[in-house]
């Protein structure tokens, strides 16, 4: 089975071809990603209209490159998959229309993919891991703990009631005069900082409900920064270190709570797996905190390589292949879904804003 995957939900234009053999094993034949970072950097964040236009300008070339790199023509494919949501509507429409048009022209099945499902299934492609497993999704737009029970079967455990963790890194960087995206900048600055000089809160830590909250941490950081202004490089490093340490504690506690709540999904004696996706997974301190937690709680940890943790076409192609193998094909009338929760039955987190 050969599937082309198209990803345009945020600020990466991506296309890839993935092969899936009979034993549900995956192979990446090509994986082409064009980041729009340069276009958005002057604005300190993703500008939806610029993103949509940039997808329009390069998607056809990216798809052609993915097919060429795989050494395949459209007629060789078993199906064509495109991200249908959640994400920025303009970008979603570009990828969806392109995917549908190619499917129609080539007479191939079309697969409308939930971007979160694609992140959740990536460990099947990279590690051959089969559900059930627990998943931490930490990106610029999403912060969730999920129980992956099977293809199309997800139980959302925790979500953020305000900012996503990546978003909190980006806002912290902006506040401290560092570049965009903020995560890598804050991590770099934190390396030489003292995490104890500026005490910061750990919202939700110890709470029974499994959700995340970052807004109080962000506000406390702003107040500390304002009180210490004008900031020296040392102040910035110490503030970054304090922020990163707080985020590590929050993640460790919240994932630990998710492990408790997912307990019933893992039968006695069955291996327990924790998996991670999203750009924030690139943070070395967070990765170390997760490794410590997994070891302490008897979980194995599977972290896909960074290029497959962040947005890419291979994960869309793989989710498409997994769905196609189960006959879960979509019609060409499938509309973009800017909001598309993986677990629609999950109750809204109390106090949650529109992002949850
Ligand atoms: O998954 P991703 O590449 O894109 C989407 O959000 O869809 O995640 C990007 C986010 C940004 O908020 C960025 O600041 C954060 O991941 N990030 C990091 C690091 N690298 C990227 N956060 C903390 N530490 C990092 N090293
Ligand atoms: Zn993503």
pTM score, whole prediction:
0.94
Positive or negative, the CA dihedral 135, 89, 34, 49 is negative
Give the mutation target among 114, 168, 169 for probing the ligand 1 site: most ligand atoms within 8 A of CB. Answer: 169
Q: 3-class SS at 167? A: helix
**Residue 181, Ramachandran bin (φ over 0: left; ψ between -120 and 50: alpha; else beta):** beta
Q: 3-class SS at 331? A: coil
User: Is residue 355's pLDDT more than 80?
Assistant: no
Closest CA to 225 of 214, 238, 216: 238
| Ligand 1 pocket by Cβ (under 6 Å) | 10, 139-141, 166-167, 169-170, 181-184, 187, 278-280, 282-283, 310-311
- pLDDT confidence bin for 354, thresholds 50/70/90: very low
Query: What is the average per-residue pLDDT within 271-288?
Result: 95
Please give the torsion angle defined by the CA atoms of residues 137, 142, 145 and 150, in that order, rounded to the nearest 10 degrees.
Answer: -70
Query: What is the average per-residue pLDDT within 153-167?
Result: 96
Q: How far is the CA of 280 from the centre of ligand 1 (A)?
A: 4
Give the mutation target among 95, 116, 139, 143 for probing the ligand 1 site: most ligand atoms within 8 A of CB. Answer: 139
User: Is residue 104's pLDDT more than 90?
Assistant: yes
Q: How far is the CA of 78 from the centre of ligand 1 (A)?
A: 33
Q: What is the predicted pLDDT for the residue at 25?
A: 84
Give me the chain's average pLDDT, please: 95
Q: What is the predicted pLDDT for the residue at 352?
A: 64
Query: What is the average per-residue pLDDT within 133-156?
Result: 96
Ligand nearest to the CA of 116: 2
User: Is residue 68's pLDDT more than 90?
Assistant: yes
User: Is residue 353's pLDDT more than 70?
Assistant: no
Give the mutation target among 186, 277, 280 for probing the ligand 1 site: most ligand atoms within 8 A of CB. Answer: 280
Q: How far is the CA of 139 from the centre of ligand 1 (A)?
A: 5
Query: What is the average per-residue pLDDT within 95-117?
Result: 98
User: Is residue 14's pLDDT more than 90?
Assistant: yes
User: Is residue 268's pLDDT more than 90?
Assistant: no
Q: What is the predicted pLDDT for the residue at 356?
A: 41
User: Is residue 306's pLDDT more than 50?
Assistant: yes
User: Is residue 233's pLDDT more than 60?
Assistant: yes
Q: What tokens appear for 223 in the block? A: 């107040």
Lowest mean per-residue pLDDT among 113-122, 235-244, 265-274, 295-304: 265-274
Q: How far is the CA of 29 from the centre of ligand 1 (A)?
A: 25
Q: What is the predicted pLDDT for the residue at 347?
A: 84
Query: What is the average per-residue pLDDT within 122-151?
Result: 96
User: Is residue 311's pLDDT more than 50?
Assistant: yes
Q: What tokens appear for 212 in the block? A: 């995340």
Q: What is the predicted pLDDT for the residue at 295?
A: 98
């Amino acid at each position: 089975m050969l599937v082309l995957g198209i990803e345009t939900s945020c600020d990466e234009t991506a296309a890839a071809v993935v092969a899936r053999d009979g034993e549900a094993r995956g192979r990446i034949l090509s994986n082409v990603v064009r980041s729009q970072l340069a276009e958005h950097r002057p604005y300190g964040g993703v500008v939806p209209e610029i993103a949509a236009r940039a997808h329009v300008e390069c998607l056809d070339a990216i798809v052609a490159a993915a097919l060429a790199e795989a050494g395949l023509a459209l007629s060789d494919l078993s199906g064509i998959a495109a991200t249908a949501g959640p994400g920025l509507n303009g970008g979603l429409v570009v990828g969806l229309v392109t995917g549908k048009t190619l499917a129609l022209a080539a007479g191939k099945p079309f697969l409308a993919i939930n971007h979160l499902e694609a992140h959740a299934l990536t460990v099947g492609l990279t590690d051959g891991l089969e559900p059930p497993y627990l998943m931490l999704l930490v990106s610029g737009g999403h912060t969730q703990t999920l129980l992956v029970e099977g293809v199309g079967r997800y139980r959302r455990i925790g979500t953020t009631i305000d900012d996503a963790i990546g978003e909190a890194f980006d806002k912290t960087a902006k506040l401290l005069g560092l570049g965009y995206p903020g995560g890598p900048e804050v991590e770099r600055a934190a390396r030489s900082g003292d995490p104890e000089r500026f005490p910061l809160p750990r919202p939700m830590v110890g709470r029974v409900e499994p959700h995340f909250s970052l807004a109080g941490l962000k506000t406390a950081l702003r107040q500390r920064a304002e009180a210490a202004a004008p900031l020296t490089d040392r102040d910035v490093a110490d503030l970054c270190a304090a922020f990163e340490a707080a985020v590590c504690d929050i993640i460790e506690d919240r994932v630990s709570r998710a492990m408790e709540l997912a307990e019933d999904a893992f039968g006695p004696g069955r291996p327990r797996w924790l998996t991670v996706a999203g750009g924030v997974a690139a943070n070395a301190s967070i990765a170390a905190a997760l490794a410590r937690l997994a070891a302490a709680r008897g979980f194995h940890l599977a972290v896909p390589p960074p290029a497959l943790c962040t947005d890419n076409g291979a994960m869309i192609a793989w989710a498409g292949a997994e769905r196609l193998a189960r006959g879960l094909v979509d019609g060409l009338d499938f509309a973009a879904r800017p909001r598309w929760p993986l677990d629609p039955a999950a109750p809204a987190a109390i106090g949650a804003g529109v992002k949850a």
